């Protein structure tokens, strides 16, 4: 685990860093939320400490170094015994060094260590008098804390009355489980409040809040038991002499919640090796725990060892926190994607500004469902707390609402299935395409029959759905074997429509190979790439015979794309055979297959244009604005096809390499750029005249 340190270069930067750290800690302990995640805060504090070590005379009295809660929390209820923080180690070696220094201090090796999870919440002292819970106090600055007795009754595991009528102080951690956190945020957002960024700040904020319209339940875990002034002598002696593990057993007998009932119960280790083995086991189950832990706390178990070791101003010397890597980082939610799963479930996924969590770069996080987005009050552009533990898919915990700038935008929910365009069933929290398992088929068919692919008129979205639902079409090829009788059996299908559709299907059979290839929907082969591939190989057989290396001879296909195209085409082999058998054209008009004898790649040659053929031979042409005259009906894709049929090369942006810009009405920046660069311009009519020979026999 790497331990980053903020670099502080001079005294001014030091003072600024101290201010920043104190402000962050104040917000953190108040539960209002800090602008920094823990890693960033810790790096800053380490930077401050490093600068102070080098400039001992210039240490600011405000410095967080050596103080409980960085000096940022306070209170007016004095503690009977100081409530301290813990020192940290980050590796087995550091732990061994700490154990060795403790052994030196004690004059003997520690024979019993207590090993517990480091619960990620906040410390609290609960005072019981005669078995009744009378007061709750925060840690504060360690010497005095804040009275939060109003929270009595909201902490699971901290009963109002103990099983035994003792007078005692119970210390431990207040946290929110993942479930409690979700409930608290939902209640808060429903009541018009801003969500908490994570369970820890939710616990801190909820504990301090008074007179709230709703109750936020939290969970308490005991890790300390000590006498109060009125504790009877027998119990006081037992508490003073009892080992930590024994006190935890006693606390459980009193009816207080300890880690004993969790998947990570406190345990005793007899050696440094045993401690390290136990740390490994706790770290391994961390992702599965229903609450957050940020490390493992190791304590000398025996009271005598604790007494002999003593404490510093900030932390005891007999205990140490073995920190685990942070699982939370703050980053930005850039976008929400809606993906449709195999069964038609439409799931949102957050696209994040890349952030590194525990050595992995995270760019996506699950968002579960639309209700989840609403519950969390998430917005585009929000800074979000991202959680990633182990191999579990990262999730967005909540927005960091206090970092909002006002520029955040609502997240738009899809109105139709983002894949096939059908309706969405929103009756459940998890939205689902009404096509369910057929969604993918409907989407791929709708794409294949679209204007830029097979261009089958009369086959709109609803017809496609109808054919699929009637069980008449299970793949693209089935379209071409539909019979008149089958069509007439469909609702809202008269004789004329049926005949028109059959005619459109017959025409589609003669589409050029480029469009058939495009219709297959192979990733990386959109309209213009399909044309380039078809022109280069001329026949489907030649394309299918090509390996990745051969495919890379096509302009624009690199080493990454080529193998995936080859693999997808191999998967599609049965469909392609079925299409060919149904009479679908598999050749590109006007193109010749690469010569079988010319083994050498045609280096440097522009494969999309035969330099000797066509009025646009060797030219790169850009089309912009609205086409008119004989070109009025052509889509942009059809214009590009025309350019390529005429031997040219179509491009979408104007550069010095552009030879001609066809500019229609409302041509904007591309036209002005062409003028700036002195590139030849043509009106749609002039261009139509240029390629007149190709316009007449146009197939579509």
Ligand X SMILES: NC(=O)c1ccc[n+]([C@@H]2O[C@H](COP(=O)([O-])OP(=O)(O)OC[C@H]3O[C@@H](n4cnc5c(N)ncnc54)[C@H](O)[C@@H]3O)[C@@H](O)[C@H]2O)c1
Selection from ligand X, Zn ion, none that 694 binds (CB < 5 to 8 A by kind) is: none
Binding interface with Zn ion (CB under 5 A): 417, 419-420, 422, 433, 435, 439
Which 378-437 residues touch ligand X, going by CB under 6 A?
none
- Coil, strand or helix at 153: coil
The owner of tokens 């007449």 is: 696
Strands (E), 409-494: 409-410, 424-425, 432-433
Rounded Cα gap, residues 226 and 682, in angstroms: 90
Q: Is 86 annotated as a binding residue?
A: yes
* Axis-axis angle for helices 636-645, 527-537 (nearest 10): 20
Site string for ligand X, 168-187 (x = CB under 6 A): -----x--------------
CB 607, CB 536: distance < 8 Å: yes
**HEC-encoded secondary structure of 95-150:** HHHHHHHHHHHHCCCCCCEEEEEEECCEEEEEEEECCEEEEEEECCCCCEECECHH
Residue with smaller CB distance to Zn ion, 420 or 688: 420
Q: Is 222 annotated as a binding residue?
A: no
Please, what is the minimum distance in Å from the beta carbon of residue 496 to Zn ion?
A: 30
Question: Does residue 36 interact with ligand X by CB under 6 A?
Answer: yes
Residue with smaller CB distance to ligand X, 2 or 666: 2
Which 296-355 residues touch ligand X, going by CB under 6 A?
297, 321
Please, what is the minimum distance in Å from the beta carbon of residue 446 to Zn ion?
A: 10
DSSP state of 519: H
- Residues in Cβ contact with 559 at an 8 Å cutoff, skipping those fewer than 6 apart: 548, 552
User: Residue 366 has which token pair?
Assistant: 């699950």
User: Residue 572 has which token pair?
Assistant: 């599609």
Burial 212-228 (b: 16+ CB within 10 A, else e): eeeebbbbbbbbbbbbb
Secondary-structure percent of the chain, ordered helix, strand, coil, rounded to 5? 40, 20, 40
22-30, 538-546, 597-605, 606-614 -> range binding ligand X (CB under 6 A): 22-30
From the candidates 118, 329, 561, 670, give the one annotated as an active-site residue.
118
Instruction: Tell me which of 8, 14, 22, 41 binds ligand X, using CB under 6 A.
Output: 41
- Return the closest-CA partner of residue 311 out of 323, 320, 302: 320
- Return the closest-CA partner of residue 102 out of 300, 244, 257, 392: 300
Residue with smaller CB distance to ligand X, 312 or 629: 312
Instruction: Tell me which of 6, 17, 18, 42 binds ligand X, using CB under 6 A.
Output: 42
Selection from Zn ion, ligand X, none that 435 binds (CB < 5 to 8 A by kind) is: Zn ion
Residue with smaller CB distance to ligand X, 118 or 440: 118
Element (H, E) at 692: helix 692-695
Instruction: Tell me which of 63, 65, 85, 637 binds ligand X, using CB under 6 A.
Output: 85
Exposed/middle/buried for 483, CB within 10 Å: 0-12, 13-18, 19+?
Answer: exposed
34-42, 247-255, 445-453, 469-477 -> range binding ligand X (CB under 6 A): 34-42
Instruction: Tell me which of 14, 181, 223, 447 binds ligand X, using CB under 6 A.
Output: 223
Is 561 one of the annotated active-site residues of the chain? Answer: no
Query: Both ends of the chain: CA-CA distance in Å?
Result: 63
Residue with smaller CB distance to Zn ion, 417 or 546: 417
- Return the closest-CA partner of residue 143 out of 88, 79, 85, 186: 79
Selection from ligand X, Zn ion, none that 439 binds (CB < 5 to 8 A by kind) is: Zn ion
In DSSP terms, 330 is beta-bridged to: 385
Residue with smaller CB distance to ligand X, 119 or 542: 119
Question: Does residue 28 interact with ligand X by CB under 6 A?
Answer: yes
Question: Does residue 34 interact with ligand X by CB under 6 A?
Answer: yes
The owner of tokens 């491009």 is: 651
Selection from ligand X, Zn ion, none that 70 binds (CB < 5 to 8 A by kind) is: ligand X
- Residues in Cβ contact with 57 at an 8 Å cutoff, skipping those fewer than 6 apart: none
- Residues in Cβ contact with 600 at an 8 Å cutoff, skipping those fewer than 6 apart: none
Question: Does residue 63 interact with ligand X by CB under 6 A?
Answer: no
Site string for ligand X, 135-174 (x = CB under 6 A): ----x---------------------------------x-
116-124, 372-380, 554-562, 614-622 -> range binding ligand X (CB under 6 A): 116-124
Q: Is 417 annotated as a binding residue?
A: yes
Selection from ligand X, Zn ion, none that 498 binds (CB < 5 to 8 A by kind) is: none
Please, what is the minimum distance in Å from the beta carbon of residue 287 to ligand X?
A: 18
- Coil, strand or helix at 587: strand
By annotation, the residues acting in catalysis are: 118
Extract the annotated binding site for Zn(2+): 417, 420, 439
Indicate the annotated binding residues.
38-42, 85-86, 116, 139, 173, 299, 323, 417, 420, 439
**Residue numbers belonging to the annotated binding site for NAD(+):** 38-42, 85-86, 116, 139, 173, 299, 323
Residues that bind ligand X (CB under 6 A): 24-25, 28, 34, 36-38, 41-42, 69-70, 85-86, 116, 118-119, 122-123, 139, 173, 223, 297, 321
């Amino acid at each position: 685990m790497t331990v980053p340190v903020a670099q502080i270069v001079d005294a001014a930067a030091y003072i600024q860093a101290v201010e920043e750290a104190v402000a962050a800690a104040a917000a953190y302990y108040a539960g209002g939320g800090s602008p920094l995640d823990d890693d960033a805060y810790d790096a800053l504090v380490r930077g401050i400490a490093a600068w102070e070590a080098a400039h001992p005379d210039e240490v600011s009295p405000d410095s967080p170094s050596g103080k409980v809660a960085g000096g940022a929390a306070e209170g007016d209820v004095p503690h009977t015994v100081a409530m301290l923080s813990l020192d940290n180690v980050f590796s087995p070696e550091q732990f061994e060094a700490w154990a060795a220094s403790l052994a030196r201090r004690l004059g003997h090796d520690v024979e019993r260590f207590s090993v517990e999870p480091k619960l990620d919440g906040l410390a609290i002292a609960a005072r019981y008098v005669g078995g009744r819970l009378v007061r709750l106090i925060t840690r504060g600055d360690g010497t005095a804390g804040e009275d939060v007795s109003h929270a009595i009754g909201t902490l699971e595991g901290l009963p109002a009355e103990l099983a035994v009528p003792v007078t005692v102080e119970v210390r431990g951690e207040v946290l929110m489980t993942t479930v409690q956190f979700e409930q608290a945020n939902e209640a808060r957002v429903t009541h018009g409040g801003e969500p908490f960024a994570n369970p820890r700040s939710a616990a801190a904020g909820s504990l301090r809040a008074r007179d709230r319209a709703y109750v936020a339940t939290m969970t308490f875990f005991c890790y300390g038991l000590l006498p109060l002034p009125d504790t009877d002598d027998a119990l006081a002696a037992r508490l003073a002499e009892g080992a930590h593990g024994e006190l935890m057993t006693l606390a459980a007998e009193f009816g207080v919640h300890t880690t004993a009932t969790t998947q990570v119960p406190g345990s005793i280790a007899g050696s440094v090796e045993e401690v390290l083995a136990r740390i490994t086991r706790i770290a391994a189950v961390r992702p599965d725990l229903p609450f957050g832990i940020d490390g493992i706390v190791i304590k000398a178990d025996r009271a005598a060892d604790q007494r002999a070791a003593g404490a510093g101003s900030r932390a005891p010397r007999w205990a140490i926190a073995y920190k685990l890597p942070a699982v939370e980082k703050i980053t930005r939610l850039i976008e929400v994607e809606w993906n449709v799963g195999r069964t038609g479930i439409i799931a949102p996924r957050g696209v994040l500004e890349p952030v590194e969590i525990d050595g992995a770069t995270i760019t996506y996080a699950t968002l579960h469902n639309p209700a989840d987005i609403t519950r969390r009050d998430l917005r585009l552009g929000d800074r979000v707390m991202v959680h990633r533990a182990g191999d579990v898919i990262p999730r967005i915990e909540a927005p960091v609402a206090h970092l909002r700038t006002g520029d955040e935008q609502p997240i738009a929910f899809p109105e139709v299935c983002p894949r096939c365009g059908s309706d969405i069933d929103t009756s459940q929290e998890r939205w689902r395409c009404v096509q369910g398992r057929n969604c993918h088929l409907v989407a791929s068919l709708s794409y294949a029959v679209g204007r830029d692919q097979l261009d089958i008129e009369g086959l709109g979205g609803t017809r496609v759905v109808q054919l699929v639902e009637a069980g008449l079409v299970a793949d693209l090829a089935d379209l071409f074997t539909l019979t008149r009788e089958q069509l007439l059996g469909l609702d809202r299908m008269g004789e004329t429509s049926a005949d028109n559709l059959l005619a459109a299907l017959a025409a589609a059979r003669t589409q050029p190979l480029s469009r058939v290839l495009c219709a297959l929907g192979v990733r990386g082969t959109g309209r213009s790439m399909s044309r380039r591939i078809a022109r280069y190989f001329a026949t489907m057989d030649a394309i299918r015979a090509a390996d990745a290396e051969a495919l890379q001879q096509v302009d624009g296909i690199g080493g990454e794309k080529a193998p995936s195209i080859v693999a997808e085409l191999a998967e599609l082999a049965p469909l392609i055979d079925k299409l060919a058998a149904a009479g679908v054209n598999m050749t590109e008009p006007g193109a010749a297959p690469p010569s079988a004898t010319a083994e050498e790649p045609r280096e440097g040659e522009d494969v999309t244009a035969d330099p000797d053929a066509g009025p646009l031979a060797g030219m790169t042409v850009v089309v912009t604005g609205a086409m008119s005259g004989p070109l009025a009906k052509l889509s942009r894709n059809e214009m590009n096809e025309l350019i390529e049929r005429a031997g040219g090369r179509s491009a979408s942006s104007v550069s010095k390499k552009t030879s001609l810009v066809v500019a229609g009405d409302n041509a904007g920046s591309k036209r002005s750029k062409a003028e700036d660069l002195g590139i030849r311009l043509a009106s749609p009519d002039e261009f139509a005249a240029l390629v007149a020979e190709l316009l007449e026999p146009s197939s579509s």
